[in-house]
Chains A and B, each alone.
Chain A
Amino acid sequence: MSRRAPVVAIVDDDPRLIESLEELLESAGYSVRSFPSAGTLMADGLTDLDLLITDIGLPGTDGFELRDAVMKARPDLPVFLITGRHELADQERAQGISAFFRKPFDARALLAAVDDAIT
């Protein structure tokens, strides 16, 4: 049976980055849903998502809080954090999180990680 394409949700307040990630993930065969903020994502619901990639620096609820919220609602949903501010990655609460990407991230490695996480 033909499997439906895995759905990856992206939360970022920078439209250019959303565009480029959609392009990258779609080029790799994923279905992408983009949200400008955590709130819009939560409003849309997490039900049929296979992976979440979220920026940390977000207006309102930030990436860490969104991840925590998602972990409660869907503990099985993999969450990738990305950030352009490297100092955030150095923070303590970021320690231990493997799925952490610093902008500019290695696209190949990101795709590999996504693939790895979904399967």
Chain B
Amino acid sequence: MWTQTLFQYRLALAIGASAAGVAVSWMTATPIGLVAPVAAIFLFARGGAVAVLFSVLAIALAGLVIATSFNLGGFRDLTLTWAGFFVVALCIGAIVAVSATPGADDHQTAIRPTAQKVAPSYPVTGPTPEEKAAPRQSPIVSINAQDDEITAELMLAASFWGGSPFHLRYWRNEPNGNCRWTEVRTEAFHEQNGIRQWASVSADLHGQRSEVPLPAKTASSPPVDDDAVIAAKFVEQLLGNAWAFDRSGRPTYLTPFAQAFVSVTLDEFQAAADEGLSFFRRTSHPDEYDHIDAAWRHSLRTGDPFYIERRIRRASGIFDWNRTAIVPTRDGHGRVTGWYGASMDLDAYRVAELALRERERELSQLVDMVPSHLWRLTPDGEPVFYSKRMVEYLGQDVADADERCIGRLEALIEAIHPDDAAKFRSVLDRCLLTGKAFSMQYRLRRADGIYRWMSSRAEPMRDQDGRIVHWYGLCHDIDDQMQAEAAIRQRERSLRQLVETLPALIYCATPGGEPIYRSQTLQDFLGLGLEETDETDETGRPRLAGTLDAIIHPDDLLTVKERYGQSLSTGEPYALRHRLRRFDGEYRWVETRAAAMRDPDGVIAQWNGVCLEIEDQVRAEEELRQVHDRLARASQAASLAELSASIAHEVNQPLAAIVANSHACHRWLSAEPANVERAKITAERIIRDANSAADVVSRIRALFKRSTESRSATSYSDIIAEARQVMADEFVRHSIHLDIEVANDLPLVKLDRVQIQQVLINLIRNGIEATDSNSGEKVLRIRVLRDEDVIRTEICDRGRGIACPERIFEPFYTTKDRGMGMGLAICRSIVESHGGRLWAQSNEPIGTTFSFTLPIEAKAV
């Protein structure tokens, strides 16, 4: 046993003894004291070093003995003394070396102190200290205990040279002198650059050690000495693993390592061979035995060398891949005399190869399964690889072009739609030249002749020097997408066509009203598109204002801006008739309607508007209205004529009677003699008929007399609004802007709604007609305000004005060609019947203001 204290003790002892020896030697001037350091050296020397020490001492002794014998140099005493010293040193060294060597009688010294050297490589098995004490055999194969170290080293060498996994269980010496049953697994790893590394794991299995000893087997090789065995032994020296066979394939020699490796002894192998089974029966994987056996028998029969890669069952029962090579030995006549061979571990390669194959399979599966075409080109653009899907799609592989004796790229371009081929070629050429990524959409012909749209991209892979090694490409079928897009485009086009061919002028505007779209018809109509109306015009006005100013009739502009602005601010639909300037400068009547398009949150996204040209309609309406007006005026005139005829007849009857009677009366009185009686009668009749005529007039007055019974408390603002509504069309038709201002604090007034509306309408119509005659600004202004105890209404026109403001209220006074001159008279009579006043005054510089008042406390006349 080797303990730290013992070691320290020995070291101290050795140093102390050496020092004492050297001191004695110096003091006595004899070498005898040097024996102590020599002994100390021997105490620590091991194996070869001991031999070297012995050799050095022996040589020195021999040299001194010779020198003494021949008395060389006349130092006979001195040499004799030194020779004596060396004899003593040799003896002391021998004693110390023997006592320091592990002895069978002492467990503590039986374990070699060089634990670090032995621990990682101790062989397959090892003895417990108890087992070591007793003669023993290895638990797996009966290798002599002394061979353990050799076996372990052979296995290490095999692992190192062959790259095989190194796997063994062994007794590990503990510093406290105990041993632990330990397993170590060491695997070789091959890096890409070829450097091998070993990774080692060891585990303490002490608790798992079976109490039942493994069956003991004895590995032995008989002293056969044929060529095969000799060859096998050479192999063994190289690999630590070798076999020899006789001519029939019966094993004749197996190295202990070979036997230990598979835990099968030579005897067992031979027994199997004697039963007619081949050598491989005991160690082959069951799945492989038949074909290995067949190959082995074939080699035995023909003399062919036997090379095979197979799985071998190791002592642990695990199968490892290895390569087995067995070649024949031949005699001088070429006859096979025997076989020898060995196996080398391939497991790491096979595992790596399998993994590699698996990865390759996965990669190629990936390439094949990706629902796209993958392709690879040389730096010159020559296709070298198409993925499976691409091959299936094209109906040709890369190499098919070679058979047709055309370039591979040409063969690919052949499959591209003729309309796209030239572009494909030029784009690809440019990419190949510049090394920039390729990207293009084109139609590619499928095997069935149908072209489908593809989106293709390729990028170059470069080496470390930046040279392009390959181009890798991806080609994705986007036909469905293209079809869908085409369908969308088609729909968009047809929608646009719909919009463009609708017999209407269509536009869109931002939520702020800025125009963003004008249909072609609208652009044609206006003679300008959006681009011609910049954000701001030369005067710096915003585009909207500039546009409106440019295209809306000046007379309508105010109304348009007002209404459009109102719609923009409230989001209410917009509808207005106005005149729009055509490209040739002519203004045409249009009806514009616009509505807000809102997003899901209800926010206005844009305004969509339609503008219908209604020039013809307006003209037709105008004409119709004029006809209507003429008819109305005619019928008015006719009924007036009728009325006046009736009145005239009613009045003329009594008048005629009066005239005739007067004349008769005159004649009766003028007669000789005067007929007074008859004159009286006729005079009475004259009085009667005159009264009758007065009655007629009274009756007519009664006919026109207005009643006050229909009066009720009414909101005057409502009446104004109604009148405005009734006249709205007139304003539009005459392009007159109505500027109206109604006071808020108007009280209810008692009045005849219909009559007051008649007054308002009459005065507004007069105002419109007056304004219409003016070529200047067409505005009619209405003001309604409270003036103490009356409501005053002013209707102010910019017409030519009137010469005699008072005469116009006389009945039958008219300034119009066709008027009957009753309107203002009636108006005045209505207003006066309500207790108000109606008057007119001229404006400065032009126009007339008609004003009338209505008492807040309306009184019946």
Contact = CB atoms under 8 A, between A and B. Distances in A.
Given A16-B654, A103-B655, A27 B664 contact: yes
A107 B641 contact: no
Contact of B663 (A19, A102, A107): A107
A108 to B, nearest CB: 7
Interface string B658-687: 111111110110010001001001100100
Interface stretch (A43-51, A64-72, A73-81, A83-91): A83-91
A23 B681 contact: yes
A96 B202 CA distance: 155
B645 A86 contact: yes
B656 A84 contact: yes
Interface string A85-107: 11100000000000000111111
Q: Which of the four size classes fits the interface of chain A?
A: 20 to 34
A104 B659 contact: yes
A24 B671 CA distance: 13
Contacts of A1: none
Contacts of B662: 107
B712 interface: no
A20 interface: yes
B617 interface: no
B536 interface: no
For B652, B655, B671, B675, the residue with the greatest tally of chain A CB atoms inside 10 Å of its CB is: B652
Smallest CB-CB A-B distances: 5 pairs? A107-B663, A103-B656, A20-B660, A23-B664, A27-B667
Given A23-B681, A107-B663, A85 B658 contact: no
B649 A24 contact: no
A14 interface: yes
Contacts of A19: 657, 661, 685
Contacts of A17: 653, 656-657, 660
Interface residues of B, number: 29
B658 A104 contact: yes
B692 interface: yes
B183 interface: no
A82 B654 CA distance: 14
A103 B649 CA distance: 8
Interface majority SS (helix, strand, loop, mixed), chain B: helix
B680 to A, nearest CB: 11
B689 A20 contact: yes
B648 interface: yes
Contacts of B663: 24, 27, 107-108, 111
A23 B649 contact: no
Contacts of B652: 84-85, 102-104
A14 B688 CA distance: 14
A23 B648 contact: no
B660 A21 contact: yes
A17 B656 CA distance: 7
A16 B692 contact: yes
B659 A105 contact: yes
13 contacts: A16-B653, A16-B654, A20-B656, A23-B668, A27-B663, A27-B664, A28-B667, A84-B652, A104-B655, A104-B659, A105-B659, A107-B659, A107-B663
A102 B652 CA distance: 9
Contacts of A87: 641, 645
Contact of B648 (A82, A84, A107): A84
B648 A86 contact: yes
Contact of A23 (B641, B654, B685, B688): B685
Nearest to A110: B660
Given A17-B657, A103-B656, 14 more contacts: A14-B657, A16-B688, A19-B661, A20-B656, A21-B660, A23-B661, A23-B678, A23-B681, A23-B685, A82-B656, A84-B652, A86-B645, A105-B656, A107-B664
A104 B657 CA distance: 7
Contacts of B682: 20, 23
A81 to B, nearest CB: 13
Contacts of A24: 660-661, 663-664, 667
A20 B653 contact: no
Interface in B565-600: none
Nearest to B669: A27
Nearest to A84: B652
For B645, B660, B663, B689, the residue with the greatest tally of chain A CB atoms inside 10 Å of its CB is: B660
For A16, A26, A28, A85, the residue with the greatest tally of chain B CB atoms inside 10 Å of its CB is: A16
B668 A27 contact: yes
B198 to A, nearest CB: 141
